[in-house]
Amino acid sequence: MDMPKHGDEAKAHFRGLVSEGPGVEVKPMFGSLGAFVNGNMFAGLFGEDVGVKLDPAGLEELRALPGSGPFGPAGRPMGGYLSLPPGLDDVALTAWVDRARDHVATLPPKVTKPKK
């Protein structure tokens, strides 16, 4: 599976879209970045694409926007996530990322398994 490349500029842009908040952190993931709340991922960067995890209604709303689509590798997109349309401005991108954070924050916190 080919992992798309992106530069420091794309990573900085992604970090700028993630609002600070309780339990929110951005961390490296598979050579890219993921945004997490309480240990659960709510947004990610894959190549130049920003993807978000939303509730079913949010996914339907986002799916209706031209340019949105599957998020992740072409043959194995991530379930429950969609890529944000590339033509959106930063205000709109941040609004979608915040919406994803708010949704994922309602999920039970991720329990870290002890290392063996």
Predicted confidence (pLDDT) per residue in 31-83, tens digit = 789 999 999 999 999 988 999 999 999 999 999 999 999 998 888 888 899 99
| Predicted TM-score (pTM) of this structure | 0.89
Taking a C-beta distance cutoff of 8 angstroms, is the pair 82, 55 a contact? no
At residue 85 the predicted structure's pLDDT band, cuts being 50, 70 and 90, is very high
Residues 6 or more apart whose CB falls under 8 angstroms from that of 94 comprise 17, 19
For residue 1, pLDDT beyond 70 = no
* 81-83 and 49-53 beta bridge pairing: antiparallel
* Interval 85-114 mean pLDDT: 93
Ordered by where they begin, the domains of the chain are 8-104 (3.90.1150)
